[in-house]
Structure 1
Amino acid sequence: MERKYISHNSLMNWLTQLNNEGNQIYAPVAKGNKTDYKHITSVEEISMDHIQTTQSAKAVAFPRTEKLFSYTKKNGDVTLQNFDTTTIPETVVFGIHPCDAAGFKPLSGIFNWDTPDLPFNERMKRTTLIAVSCTQCDEFCFCTSVNGSPGNTTGSDILLTPIKDGYLAEIITEKGKSLVDKHSSFFEADPNVNKEEYLAQVPVQFSLEELNKKISNMFESPVWKQQSERCLGCGACAYVCPTCACFDIQEDAHGSSGNRLRCWDACGFSLFTMHTSGHNPREMQSQRWRQRLLHKFSYMPERISVRGCTGCGRCSRACPVDMNIAEHLTEIAAL
């Protein structure tokens, strides 16, 4: 892994140059008391002092709603127009934290475990992730409990760690190296600093080893009913999560033509598993809460060899009834 230094002014000039070259730049933008990823046209819009954005960055590769194909029916014949990958722009996502960058690994596993998903993969090919290490945290952050860290490099193409007057730049992938080499004038030599000294101190809240030992054998445990008693099934946790990938298919039909759409969904919704027969195999909220945790901490590791949680804490921040996932995982690990 190559290390370099970039000053704050050079970083802003570099992002401006990338924007001028036609790249779509997504970065954290503050609005009111919230910060979220937006398509920016000026580096003046970028927020650098937030702890966490409200939404994750997953919509860059997995949009809330996207057209998979369009169709036209005429005289009994159906003509399909597949997803046009040439419309996807070169994209740079700047300012994501390591927990967000790491979230693209489970997403890639989900969208490639059987048939490779063309729209997702083509977006990822054209996306470069420039992450920024965390120098501050809050009570909801628990990345260190799930084998992450405030300076984790997983998923990032380039990781910047704020140091005095600038950033330590770690170039992690070939995609990141290509971008840095193309704009090498903005970078200087390795500053020879200990990165760990600049990172936030995120306390470990539970034993992942104990959680892994127990959760897969708890399908019939009463803990699911107990933990889910105040859950509203609103789906806020899934919509802000960087790894949740549940979706629904909708038809946008207009007479003899239309579009097939893929839209975000959530396994916590009461109708998510409703069959046309009227049978619902997960009719109780406790069953849906169980599915959420088992999927992230048991099924995904078994099937795609990656955990479905990066410890970003967004679900706990967003929950209107204060269902703190780290507290629930701590309880399970201690059983």
Structure 2
Amino acid sequence: MQALIASLSHVLKAVLLALFSSGRGDLASLSAAGNRNTGIHRALEYEAGSVVSCLFSAGIFPLANDEAPYMSKAPYVPPQVWKNEAPSGGQFASINRPIAGPTHDKTLPVGKHPLQLYSLATPNGVKVTILLEELLALGHSAAEYDAWLIRIGEGDQFSSGFVEINPNSKIPALLDRSVEPPIRVFESGSILLYLAEKFGAFLPKDPAGRTETLNWLFWQMGAAPYLGGGFGHFYAYAPEKLEYPINRFTMEAKRQLDVLDRRLAESTYLAGDSYTIADIAVWPWYGQLVRNNVYSAAEFLAAHEYTHVQRWAEEIAKRPAVIRGQRVNRTWGDEATQVPERHQAEDLN
């Protein structure tokens, strides 16, 4: 094979030299020949020399269906020191930056309730509104809250007021004004744990049950970045579809679903027989994933195969507090489901 590649390289280079020497600009016949064997093209890309490689890469010799394979592009060589010079691309490129801190001064609004939530109805955001609605359903009137909309696409999370609550500039962020001085809580998992402990609900008190709940809560915190920043980004949001990262993160997403499926084959909920903050944390990501409400990827991931996750996901989706919580700070989809801000229970009627 190496000999064949070398021979083809010399032949093609000779032909190219002759063509360019004679002033011919029409390479259609040679381009068509290159079209017929993409395997040879791949080998030539790496082995046959810079002239042929550059012409293929430039599209002078287009591949069949004008579709270049992932490895046909010149490999990226990282610089000695990275600089933020090229646009990152993707759906959220406008809000990505390599530094922290506020970009503008703005004081956050404050409502009448002790709990002030600043959020958006993303999977991480609805974790908190679902828990707050569950607490209210149990009769915890002190869990009443004001939910203010943070438009991350417009950079609200980089305001000075928001950064004071969450220096990481990510939603959700909570301010508990029932105490003095007020307590700031950021990171969705931390907020769930804080509220569960504050109200003594959805977190078992026995050591074994509490620990199992926290096991799955922290599992979600560690696993979801691979689902969101990995699979979700490259499958749904990246400026182009690339085979390697999609395959890599699809494998991990399916492995995570299998972890959940095996656990839910053993118990009704993640921590056992009781619904806890572990379920509230995991459901907006993985429950909605198998229900095709995250990245529209259920078919691609063969989500129907995870029957125990499906059972669990549908059961939780029917809970009234879950239905209400998903609507808070929502600004897309069916207008009837959108509640950009929530300041009283009647806002969800």
TM-score after normalising by structure 1: 0.23
More helix by share: 2
Structure with bigger gyration radius? 2
Higher relative contact order (CA 8 A, sep 6+): 1
TM-score after normalising by structure 2: 0.23
